[in-house]
Structures are given as C-alpha cells and as structure tokens.
Amino acid sequence: MTDTNHPSRPDLPTLPIIENFSRRAAIKGGFATLGAAAFVAAISPLRHAAQNTSAGEFMQNHYTELTPEQKADVIARLEEEAKEKYGAEVTIGDDRPIPGTKFVYAINLSVCNGNGKCVEACHKENNHDRATNQSYIRVIEMPKGTMDMEQGSTTYTGAVPKDDKFYLPVQCQQCDEPPCVDVCPVKATWKEDDGIVVVDYNWCIGCRYCEAACPYHARRFNWKQPEVPAEEVNPDQSYLSNRIRPVGVVEKCTYCLHRTRRGKLPACLEACPTGARVFGNILDPESNIRWLLENKRVYILKEELGTKPAFFYYFD
Amino acid sequence: MTTSTAPADKPSYIASYPRFLARSLWQATEGSLGFYAWMTLLTALFLVGANAWANQVAGGMIGTHMTDQVSWGLYIANFTFMVGLAAGGVMMVIPAYLYHDRKMHDVVIIGELLAIAAIVMCLMFVVADLGRPDRFWHMMPGLGKFNFPISMLTWDVIVLNGYLLLNLHICGYLLYMRFLGREPNPVWYVPFVMLSIVWAISIHTVTAFLYCGLGGRPFWNTALLAPRFLASAFVSGPAFIIVTMVLMKKLTRVQGLDQPIATLTKIVRVTILINLLMVASELFTEFYTGGAHVSAAKYLFFGLHGKTGLVPWTWTAIGLNVTAACLFLWPGLLAPRLRWLLVSACVMAFVGTWIEKGMGLIIPGFIPSTLHQIVEYAPSLLEWKVTVGIWAFGLMVFTIAIKTALPTLRQADQD
C-alpha cells in the first residue's frame, strides 16, 4: 500500500492536497455513488416487506399500553387485513381474564390412546398454517415402563393404541415460573391473571430466545406468512390467541382463551374422543379438576426445572 | 466526546473535528491496486449478503434452514464467536496497560479497532437473526419496552453497545489527538482503557449467561460455559491479531511488530491449553456421568440414532485445535523464517474456535430437542450468503480502521 499523503509537518492538520486531488476525489465520489446505488438495488426486496407492514402496525404500541380507543382501531385494522389478505370475515375479540379464575389442565394417561384428534383440532381452531400442518400439541408415543422422554417418538405411525406403548400429549404448560417470559427482551410475552401465558404478536421482534428457553417445546415461530384458505379460517378470534399471526413472530397455546374466557372448553378437549382431557378453574372448589387434583396421584413434566406447570398428568 | 476539553486559545474543535473525519476518510480510501481489489471484493460479497438478507426479510425466515426444533443457527453461532473476537482484543490491552509493555503499547490500537469491527458484526448478526427487524425499536430503552434486568439479552444489548462506545471513544480520541499533533492526555483515555478491560470480560460472560441460564437445555446449562467462552476468546482474538500484524509487516511500513507478535504467541500458548483442558473437563463430566444429559454431546461427537450432521464439524475443530496447540507449544514457532507456520497455526486455532463455539455450541443445544426429537440442521445457501456478507462488511470496517490508524502506528516507531 502506498502512502500518498505522508504529512511533511505532522503537527499541522492538513487535508492531503495533491496535484490531482480533484480528479481522485471525483473518482472516489463516483465509486461511492456506484456502491450506494448497488446497495439500494441489493436491498430492494425490502420494499415488498414494507408494503406488507402498514404505518399503523409499525408504530403500534405494546398491548398493555393501548388505550381502549387505540385497541378498537388496532382490532378494526386487523379484521380489515384478514379480509384483504385471506378473504375472510373475522371478528377479533379482546378477551380479558375472568376475575377469580386460574385455568389448569390435566390429562389421564391411562385413557389417552394417541389418536391425535387434539392435534388436529388445535390446528384448525387456531388458524395454523396449512402447509406446515402446525399445531400447539405434540403427542409422544412412549414405551411402557419409562417416563424418560428420550425413549419416546413424536413421529409414530400406524394403528393406535399399541399394546406396549402409552401416549403423552405435550403442549404449553402455562408455567407459574415461565422461563420463556423471563428471557423475552421486549416484554412481548407475559402471564395473565388467569394463568395463561400470552404473546403480543404485534410486539414480538422474533428473536426466538423464548423458544430456546422453553423446556416443553411449546413455542412456535412463523417462518413464513401462514396460509389458510378463506373457507377454513376460524372467524371467532381473539387478539391474544388465534387471530392469524404475522410472519416472523412467535406464537403459543393459550388454552384457547378466545373460548375458555367465554365459558367454553378448549378445542383440544372437545375433540378428544377418549375423555382423557380435563380442564377447569382450580380456584373453584366444586370443579371437576379440583377434585381430580386432590384425589388422583398427579405428576408434572420436568418438575426438577422449577417451572411450576399448570398442566398435570395422572394415571388411573 | 472531546469538545469539552477545548482550551479557549486553541482553534475550535468544531472546525477541526469534521476536517479530521474528512482526512481520515480520504486516507482510508487511498491505497495500492491490491487494496482497491480487496475492498472491491469485500463490497461485492457484502452486497450479495445484503441482497440475501433483504430476501429473507421479504419472504420470511423460511429461507433459512432453521426450524422450531433448531431455532437458532449459523447467525447466532457467528454472533457468539464474534463476541469472543471482540473480547480477545483485550489480550493486547492487558500487556500494554497493566504490564507496561512499551512495544505492545505502540500497536495496542489494532486490538481496539478489531473490537469495534467485531462488535459491529455482532450487532449485524443479531439483526439478521430477528424475525421482525422492523420492530428493532421495541428493544431501545425508553422508546420500547426493555425487559431489564430479567432478560439476559437486555444485558447483552447494554454491554455490547457499551463496549462499542468505549472502543470508539478510545480509538477516536487517540487518532484525533494525533491529527491535531498533540500528545494525548491520559486523563481522557486511560480510565476508559482500564474500564474496557473489565468490560471485555463482561461481554463474553454475559453472552455465556444467555445460554447457560436456560435450565431446559442441559448442553448449555453448565457453570463452565463463561470461563470456556473467555478461554476460547483469548485464543481466537490474539490469533486474528497475529495474522493481521504479520500481514501489516509485509504490506505497510509499520515497524516494531515482532515483539507484540511474540507476546501474543506466548499468550495463545497458555490460553489454547486452558481451553482444551476445559473442553476435556466438560466431556469427562458428560460422558462419565452418562444419562439423559449426555445426549447432545453424544450427538455432537458420535451422532445419535444415526444422525451425524455435526460429527465432521466437531472432529475438524478438535483436529485443528489440537494441532494448533502442539504448534504453539513448540518454541521454534517464533523463528522469523517460520512466519508461515505461525500464521497457519493461528488460522487453525481461529477456525477451530469458530466451529467449537459456533456450530459446535449452538446447534447441540437444540439436538435433541426438549421433547427429545432429533431434527438436524445445516445452514441454507441464504444463511451462508448473509453470513459471508456480514464478515465482508466487518473486514471492510477493520481494513478502513487500520488504514486510518496507520500514521499513528508509524509515528510510534519513530519515537
């Protein structure tokens, strides 16, 4: 490398004035302009992404900081977008926790036969991407005689139940000490008063730290824009649950809060043909689930991690 | 940053600082044909990466080969390694400022400039990994919602940006003083240098805490992770700087590089062994104990249930690291006529660390998944393009920074 501007007097600040300074400056300027133009051309696909994001969405505040008017505007905009992008008429509610409610779930592993109806129901209810066949539930086929998930398989096929197997459905455990909430750098996910851990899909930055932190593989990332045919879109939606998620954000099971906060049961429970699933308000002393937790020998997954799940398993 | 020191009788900094920047820019874009070819190549690679990234944002991250099982890949692997490279520069600062090594002091700015370039790359890798880079502002304290101090990622944002500012200030101040032809005032940079030593340790410790704090990932959930990160950082950083200095000796008129090269070689001689010792200690604990916790290590070293995607990577890393360690332990490595061998040893140690701390650390954290699924991962072409683009940009920043500092480096050996 040559040194064209070795200052003869290093004590004095000088711009390198050399004979052909202006010519060199013009050449450098020319190349800089060329580089800038090439850069603009290289990132031109971003324009496509920008078209898909409205100014309102870009500027939108965190869910917990929206005024009722802003919330109404946001929901109207989202309903509009569902119409535009998916051709579906949807209603997006803003379902809040019912005071005095703490939802818990339990599954009877003696009864579950691994038929997978819950997985399918979740897929439809929550407007999951059709192509990837996404669902919030994974069922693990386990050999009898072990509780070690390493022995299990989530990709089992064939007729169920098999004699030497039992079936362990896993979905979000709605932990009381959720590691996924702790790690989120922008508070895009939090635990609500009824115990449900939710995500503000319009605030999540898509870093996927929560996916790394969750010990139950309960979180999913939208690697692409979900595709659902208009006639298959479930129109009964809620802002914090099953509305069609944007690309590039994380989502998760919400115990179907758009149903359960309206007094209905989760879709996976309604779809279960065996009656293995029990759902309810643990604070209600008369509830089924309360009786069950008091009288059955229940266990929780990965208890040693201290996540305190609100999801229980038991055998008869 | 320095305007407040302006005495009334001196010419205004407001006028001279832009002149300093303009002169630096001019200086940094002057050079031989080889230099222009190098910069053109880097620009071209950067543009390829920028285009790939733009496509990723437009089409969604489906263009990567990451999955819900392996939700971090090549980007976060490189990010982790880059934090180490940034921290590694401190191995020049410590001899220069704590042990008053004169020769090292003259060229210590190389390490600080490397830190700047590496941190810039870190930040770019994080942005490349975001599903929604348009929501970047959600992470800004004050503007968005910063989950501090609970989320370790917010700590990382603070320490990485803080380290960047520290090094920008130190280098900027020294170069500006040199431009003004004045002796730098130690009050304005020595305290920051001392702070940067502690800060360098912190960036890599916090980055290790990102992973080792996760109870659900047994492969990362080890107290040895932060010390291991530091040891490998003190291999990759000095290795990179040694190669830089060997090149500078050939390509520039900077003198007095032999002694710093020798000092750094002696440092790597120790750190590379500490790093290998810690790897061995980790492996013993994993494999002797056995049980479920060993699955990821088994996958990494031998494959699991017939899936062996990482096995070639990891054995390559081990081969490179062990060979490099043997070479570094050989006293003859410092002979002036064996510079090529020293450079090879550095390259081996560098690449070995890049694998060990990149793909070899991030990917086994996800395999098997928390529900013990084994879904393998190999980066897609798009991921490679983005990664190469960011590396090219980082090398551009580093080249320009070194060019800007050349007069300072040359002045040092005139003293």
CA-closest candidate to residue A125, choices A83, A171, A162, A157 = A171
Closest by Cβ to B214, choosing from A203, A213, A306:
A213
A217 at B interface, C-beta within 8 A: yes
Does residue A211 belong to any structural domain of this protein?
yes
CA-closest candidate to residue A91, choices A280, A297, A233 = A233
Name the residue range of residue A171's domain: 116-255
Which chain A residues are closer than 8 Å to B157 by Cβ? 185
Residue A257 to residue A97: CA distance in whole angstroms: 8
Q: Indicate if the pLDDT at residue B2 is higher than 60.
A: no
Residue A188 to residue A221: CA distance in whole angstroms: 14
Q: What percent of chain B has pLDDT over 70?
A: 96
Does residue B36 belong to any structural domain of this protein?
no
CATH code assigned at B135: 1.20.1630.10
Q: Indicate if the pLDDT at residue A5 is higher than 60.
A: no
Q: What percent of chain A has pLDDT over 70?
A: 93
Distance linking the first and last C-alpha atoms of chain B: 28
Each residue's pLDDT tens digit, A173-215: 999 999 999 999 999 999 999 999 999 999 999 999 999 999 9
pLDDT of residue A20: 58
pLDDT grade for B413, boundaries at 50, 70 and 90: low
HSE of A120, CA atoms in CB hemisphere, 13 A: 8
Each residue's pLDDT tens digit, A204-249: 999 999 999 999 999 999 999 999 999 999 999 999 999 999 999 9
Mutate to test the interface with A, among B21, B145, B255 (most CBs of A within 10 A): B145
Does residue B270 belong to any structural domain of this protein?
yes
pLDDT of residue A127: 97
Residue B162 to residue B146: CA distance in whole angstroms: 16
Residue B242 to residue B339: CA distance in whole angstroms: 10
- For the segment A128-148, the average pLDDT, to the nearest whole number, is 95
Does residue A24 belong to any structural domain of this protein?
no
Does residue A51 belong to any structural domain of this protein?
no
**Closest CA–CA distance from residue B173 to any residue of chain A (Å):** 15
Structural domains counted in chain B: 1
Does residue B48 belong to any structural domain of this protein?
no
Residue A264 region by backbone torsions, left for phi larger than 0, else alpha for psi between -120 and 50, else beta? beta
Mutate to test the interface with A, among B14, B67, B80, B151 (most CBs of A within 10 A): B151
pLDDT grade for B202, boundaries at 50, 70 and 90: very high
Residue B2 to residue B21: CA distance in whole angstroms: 14
Q: Indicate if the pLDDT at residue B191 is higher than 90.
A: yes
CA-closest candidate to residue A136, choices A109, A169, A112 = A169
Closest by Cβ to A248, choosing from B61, B71, B370:
B61
Residue A167 to residue A276: CA distance in whole angstroms: 11
Interchain contact, A186 vs B146, CB within 8 Å = yes
Name the residue range of residue B177's domain: 66-409
Does residue B132 belong to any structural domain of this protein?
yes
DSSP A167: E
A308 at B interface, C-beta within 8 A: no
Each residue's pLDDT tens digit, B42-67: 999 999 999 999 999 999 999 999 99
Q: Indicate if the pLDDT at residue B291 is higher than 90.
A: no
Torsion angles phi and psi, residue A33, rounded to 5: -65, -45
CATH code assigned at A235: 3.30.70.20
Does residue A61 belong to any structural domain of this protein?
no
Each residue's pLDDT tens digit, B74-116: 999 999 999 999 999 999 999 999 999 999 999 999 999 999 9
Does residue A28 belong to any structural domain of this protein?
no
Q: Cβ neighbours of residue A155 under 8 Å, at least 6 residues apart?
A: B373
Interchain contact, B372 vs A150, CB within 8 Å = yes
CA-closest candidate to residue B231, choices B91, B93, B127, B111 = B91
Residue A297 to residue A313: CA distance in whole angstroms: 9
Evaluate the CA torsion angle A270, A271, A275, A279 in order and state its sign: negative
Structural domains counted in chain A: 1
Q: Indicate if the pLDDT at residue B10 is higher than 80.
A: no
Each residue's pLDDT tens digit, A12-68: 455 555 555 688 888 899 999 999 999 999 999 998 788 877 888 888 999 999 999
- For the segment A163-169, the average pLDDT, to the nearest whole number, is 96
Closest by Cβ to A38, choosing from B23, B35, B47:
B47
Contact A191, A307 (CB under 8 A): no
pLDDT of residue A273: 97
pLDDT of residue A51: 81
Decide: helix, strand or coil at residue B389. helix
Closest by Cβ to B72, choosing from A212, A248, A250:
A212
Q: Cβ neighbours of residue B45 under 8 Å, at least 6 residues apart?
A: B388, B389, B391, B392
Q: Indicate if the pLDDT at residue A91 is higher than 70.
A: yes
**Closest CA–CA distance from residue A285 to any residue of chain B (Å):** 33
Average pLDDT, chain A: 92
Each residue's pLDDT tens digit, B181-190: 899 999 999 9
A279 strand-pairing partners: A105
- For the segment A131-149, the average pLDDT, to the nearest whole number, is 94
Average pLDDT, chain B: 93
Does residue B198 belong to any structural domain of this protein?
yes
DSSP A219: E
Torsion angles phi and psi, residue A290, rounded to 5: -65, -45
